[in-house]
Amino acid sequence: MIRRSVHYTIYGEPASKANSRRLVTIGGRARFIKSQKALDYVKAVREQVRWMHPLMTGDIRMTAHVYYASRRPDLDVSLILDALQGIAYENDRQVKEMHLHHHLDRDNPRAVISLEEMNDDDE
């Protein structure tokens, strides 16, 4: 079986999903929703990446090199995983293996992402 793969470079610094929530009132009930920074980043991802057709449907291995503008942010790719749903794969639950790397590049924050379909014998 041929494994498909895709590689993306996404410019801009990803927001940490855990730290990218804001409290709003909707219909009289308090709810947490994505912050404007998180929403802007998801929009930027969708504008920068090549959409796959058909989407990956099996288990996926992800390698991510995230270049932050400072040492302060936590290494968090959950917002990237959310943003790539419907673009590269059907659901971020398909990502079964992740290799994550934190880097510093003050002038050019970005995420370099590789996604690869896994065979059954990869487990």
Side-chain half-sphere of 6: how many Cα atoms within 13 Å?
Answer: 16
Looking at the 3D structure of the chain, how many domains does it have?
1
DSSP string, 74-94: ----HHHHHHTBTTTBS-GGG
CATH code at 103?
A: 3.30.1330.70
Its domain, for residue 31, covers 5-122
CA dist 120 and 123 (Å) reads: 6
The per-residue pLDDT string of the chain (123 residues; one tens digit each, 9 = 90 and over) reads 568 999 999 999 988 766 555 566 778 877 666 778 888 899 999 999 999 999 999 999 999 999 999 999 889 999 999 999 999 999 999 999 999 999 999 999 999 999 999 987 665
- What is the predicted pLDDT for the residue at 24? 61
9's tokens: 């470079």
pTM confidence score? 0.84
